[in-house]
Amino acid sequence: MSADPIRIVIVGGGTAGWMTAATLGHFLDTGYSISLVESDAIGTIGVGEATIPHIRVFNSALGIDEDDFIRACQATFKLGIAFDGWRHEGHSYLHAFGDVGRDVGLCAFQHLWSRAARLGFAKDTNAYTLNAIAARAGKMHRGDPLTGKAVPAMPYAYHFDAGLYAAFLRKFSEARGVIRHEGTITRVLRDGESGDISAVQLEFGAQIAGDLFIDCSGIRGLLIGETLGSAYHDWSDWLLCDSALAVQSPRVSDFTPYTRSIAHGVGWRWRIPLQHRTGNGRVYASRFIDDDTVRAELLGAIEGEALTDPRLIRYTTGRRAEGWKNNVIAIGLSSGFLEPLESTSIHLIQTAISRVLKFLPGRVQHQADRDEYNRQFTFEMERIRDFIILHYWANQRSEPFWQACREVALPDTLRHKIDLFAATGQIYREGEELFSEVGWFQVLAGQGITPAASHGMADTIPEADLRDYLGMIEALYAREAERYLSQADYIAQNCAAPERVMA
Ligand SMILES: Cc1cc2nc3c(=O)[nH]c(=O)nc-3n(C[C@H](O)[C@H](O)[C@H](O)COP(=O)(O)OP(=O)(O)OC[C@H]3O[C@@H](n4cnc5c(N)ncnc54)[C@H](O)[C@@H]3O)c2cc1C
């Protein structure tokens, strides 16, 4: 056995590259050497600022102090995502983190809600969700509830500056021995027999050799796609948008503790408030609207003057046929792309990193491991894809774009989920799919689908008791949220970033 360390080379220094470097640097010891190559000339995609609660697990596994991270990355808190106008113009609902209502014994809350809905007295699911009530009131709180044990703690995520997060993780990684190389890779060298990648070469000739390569090179997929030819499964028949325009606007005092996703005639707009500025962007389908019209609409919609020129990003929704091929594992945009509607890309980076750690390929790699890795990667991507399609498909809007979204032929997996819920209110989370029953419930109900029948157990509850029960949950959560600080005050008191930390 060779005593030389196993050489892991990370190609790319965006969010994916530095999250990977930080984790490997933190968890691997002297048996490994970790290096990262990034190109200042190429730069990063420069977006990706809204997260889901799992990011807290990532940061805490690395031992990162939460308030240090918030200050360094100009972060704010996020309790969910508001979908404005997605069902129809004027309608809004939140997909909030955390539980909706409270189950009664074995009877899941969605059955109680659907019975109450058919009886005509159920409110929007948000009325029974602590995160949604606090979010709409602009409130934030971490830790134990203030009014007693009958109330859950609020799960939360962050909005943060992606550039500052990468810089934060770079410092963290370099302190743990990760070697950074700056330069553009112009040549990729392969082993003549296995086809594995042996080294990458920078423009001035320096070569960086490795045993395992992690491709974090962004949408182009320099190693996984351009070099190894892992095919790309295109999902744009289901998800029609193929373009985004991103722009930053000045800081606002209204730090909504939620991401806003505002439906437009074609596509939608995001609004992500950070401590020092607001991130905005439009996602749209270029065959329904031209870039200049979207640019004008976006600039007309943001608060204040734009701080940057709107940046155009073209993409193809889909995934690599193989996320791990030969001795290359793709993480981040190189592995595939799903639009940021549910803020899932950074989470996908996280799960890919944890898979790498579980399989931890070394000098000798096994096809059986690759197959299992790729099976898990495919399952995860396809279930998130289904969830995103649901938002578009279940709309009641009149514009041609939205009509086209209603006409897509749904994947069988999604068709099954919708049919089951519409018939009897049942929702099942499959395996390790990301979104739980409450996530599906909020979006199915939020988009206007109400089950035709409810569970027998819900039907046995007398109507008056059901009414009291729903009213009690609503009052309990409203009373709790009332005691929280506004997010702006909460940040000012706990984790305000110094003014000098700029992107
Ligand atoms: C419009 C839009 C909005 C998004 N919003 C969200 C969001 O709200 N939440 C979320 O979770 N995700 C979001 N995402 C996804 C998120 O931005 C990405 O998942 C994340 O930034 C990771 O990108 P990356 O590191 O894979 O690629 P990039 O940021 O593109 O980084 C690629 C790296 O590879 C390097 N590189 C490339 N070629 C070479 C070469 N030849 N030589 C050397 N280096 C090279 C580049 O220099 C760079 O360092 C969004 C994406 C888009 C397009």
Nearest CA to ligand 1 atom 49: 13
Q: Return d(Cα 331, Cα 216) in angstroms, integer.
A: 5
Pocket perturbation via mutation, ligand 1, pick of 20, 35, 42, 180 by most ligand atoms within 8 A of CB: 42
Question: How large is the angle between the packed helices 15-27 and 54-61, nearest 10 degrees?
Answer: 40
φ and ψ of 412, to 5 deg = -55, -35
Residue 503, pLDDT score? 42
Is 78 designated active site?
A: yes
Kindly state if the Cβ of 202 falls inside 6 Å of ligand 1.
no
Distance 262 CA to ligand 1 centre (A): 23
Q: Map residue 416 onto helix, strand or coil.
A: helix
At 42, list the tokens.
């190429």
Length of the chain: 503
DSSP state of 125: G
Domains of the chain are 6-49+161-234+317-365 (3.50.50.60), 98-152+396-487 (no CATH), 243-314 (no CATH)
Burial of 132 (0-12, 13-18, 19+ CB in 10 A): buried
- β-pair type (328-330, 324-325): antiparallel
**How many other β-carbons are positioned within 10 Å of the β-carbon of residue 447?**
21
In sequence order, what are the residues at sequence separation of 6 or more whose Cβ sits closer than 8 angstroms to the Cβ of residue 395? Answer: 86, 87, 88, 263, 402, 405, 406, 447
Q: What is the pLDDT along the chain (503 residues), one digit of tens a residue?
A: 557 999 999 999 999 999 999 999 999 988 999 999 999 999 999 898 999 999 999 999 999 999 999 999 999 999 999 999 999 999 999 999 999 999 999 999 999 999 999 999 999 999 999 999 999 999 999 999 999 878 999 999 999 999 999 999 999 999 999 999 999 999 999 999 999 999 999 999 999 999 999 999 999 999 999 999 999 999 999 999 999 999 999 988 788 999 999 999 999 999 999 999 999 999 999 999 999 999 999 999 999 999 999 999 999 999 999 999 999 999 999 999 999 999 999 999 999 999 999 999 888 899 999 999 999 999 999 999 999 999 999 999 999 999 999 999 999 999 999 999 999 999 999 988 999 999 999 999 999 999 999 899 999 999 999 999 999 999 999 999 999 999 999 999 999 999 754 44
Nearest CA to ligand 1 atom 1: 244
φ and ψ of 284, to 5 deg = -155, 170
Distance 311 CA to ligand 1 centre (A): 14
Pocket perturbation via mutation, ligand 1, pick of 95, 160, 345 by most ligand atoms within 8 A of CB: 345
Q: What angle do CA 488, 494, 498 make, to 5 degrees?
A: 80
C-beta of residue 259 within 8 angstroms of C-beta of residue 78:
yes
Alpha-carbon Rg of the chain, whole angstroms? 23
Residue 501, pLDDT score? 46
Distance 15 CA to ligand 1 centre (A): 6
Q: What angle do CA 386, 229, 47 make, to 5 degrees?
A: 50
Residue 500, pLDDT score? 56
Q: Return d(Cα 80, Cα 461) in angstroms, integer.
A: 31
C-beta of residue 337 within 8 angstroms of C-beta of residue 345:
yes
Tell the residue number behind the tokens 């508001």, with chain if given: 82
φ and ψ of 83, to 5 deg = -105, 100
φ and ψ of 499, to 5 deg = -55, -30
Q: Return d(Cα 81, Cα 132) in angstroms, integer.
A: 9
Burial of 444 (0-12, 13-18, 19+ CB in 10 A): buried
C-beta of residue 101 within 8 angstroms of C-beta of residue 112:
yes
Kindly state if the Cβ of 14 falls inside 6 Å of ligand 1.
yes
Pocket perturbation via mutation, ligand 1, pick of 19, 45, 213 by most ligand atoms within 8 A of CB: 45
- Using CA atoms, how far residue 353 sits from 22, 34, 369, 431, in Å, is 10, 14, 15, 19
Distance 224 CA to ligand 1 centre (A): 15
In sequence order, what are the residues at sequence separation of 6 or more whose Cβ sits closer than 8 angstroms to the Cβ of residue 354? Answer: none
φ and ψ of 263, to 5 deg = -70, 140
DSSP state of 218: -
Kindly state if the Cβ of 274 falls inside 6 Å of ligand 1.
no
The alpha carbon dihedral of 64, 67, 72, 75 has a sign of positive
Residue 2, pLDDT score? 58
Kindly state if the Cβ of 332 falls inside 6 Å of ligand 1.
yes
